[in-house]
A and B are shown apart, each in its own frame.
Chain A
């Protein structure tokens, strides 16, 4: 499908591995954040890192089907943040 050289494929896989490491580092704030909103923001960062990881793996392996998974995951990630921020306020007028 794609005419990606092995060097570019390795670079994209290395970038995906770096994003995995960054997501594991951000997991510290999910465990330890003092308030619930800290944890939600950290989970949001991990979710957007997951979208980037899926897209980079799709480009490195030349499989465009993974981009659909990334698109659905980005939608669900946004919906999770909005739902939590609306249900933690009584009147719900956050946006």
Chain B
């Protein structure tokens, strides 16, 4: 295995690791805003590392230019999309998660005045906890 192949394998492994971190954050974090935090940063870094590995695999070719375009595009647009969605949610009046919500058993955060009532949100939090315990 040449050092070039080792670099490709290391970049792909780093991409898979940060994709795993993003998935864990999206599943486990308690709030829309914290989930957007995990999704925008970790997932962007995982995608950029994997696409850098792809750009190294294609040698001196037009495909390398396309892969570098993909890297730049993901690096710009992925946090922008998460920021836009989060700002739309804040304009709609969804309150951020706070420490009192963790101490209360009921979770009055995410859109208590939307269609889902607080009862289903309480079952949501407990369901996430038991599901994490089973893993």
B26 touches A15 (CB 8 A): no
Distance in angstroms between the alpha carbons of A58 and B87 in the assembled complex: 35
CA distance A41 to B61 in the complex (A): 34
Cα of A1 to Cα of B44 in the assembled complex, Å? 28
From 79 to 135 in chain B, residues with beta carbon under 8 angstroms from any chain A beta carbon are 80-89, 91-92, 94, 110-111, 114, 116, 120-121, 124, 127
Contacts of B124 in A (CB 8 A): 32, 34
- CB-nearest residue of chain A to B36: A41
Which of these, A3, A15, A71, contacts B16 with CB under 8 Å? A15
CB distance from A58 to the nearest CB of B (A): 7
Task: Give the docked Cα–Cα distance between A12 and B116 (Å).
Answer: 42
Q: How big is chain B's contact interface, by range?
A: 35 or more
Q: Is the beta-carbon distance between B77 and A74 smaller than 8 angstroms?
A: yes
Q: In the complex, what residues of B have CB within 8 A of residue A82's CB? A: 80-81, 84
Q: Cβ of B50 and Cβ of A56 under 8 Å apart?
A: yes
CA distance A7 to B86 in the complex (A): 41
Q: A48 vs B74: C-alpha distance in the bound complex, in angstroms?
A: 8
Q: Contacts A51-B70, A85-B85 given: A2-B111 contact, CB under 8 Å?
A: no
* Contact in complex: A28, B27 (CB < 8 Å): yes
Residues of B close to A44: CB separation below 8 A: 39, 78, 81-82, 85
Contact of B84 among A3, A11, A45, A85 (CB under 8 A): A85
Question: What separation, in Å, do the CA atoms of A31 and B82 have in the docked complex?
Answer: 19
Pairs A–B under 8 Å by Cβ, sample size 9: A15-B13, A34-B111, A35-B111, A41-B86, A74-B73, A85-B87, A85-B88, A86-B88, A88-B88
Report, nearest first, the 7 A-B pairs whose CB atoms are least far apart. A64-B63, A81-B81, A85-B88, A85-B84, A59-B57, A78-B77, A37-B89
Given contacts A8-B5, A52-B50, A74-B73, 10 further A-B contacts (CB under 8 A): A2-B58, A11-B8, A15-B15, A18-B16, A26-B27, A28-B27, A37-B86, A55-B70, A78-B78, A81-B81
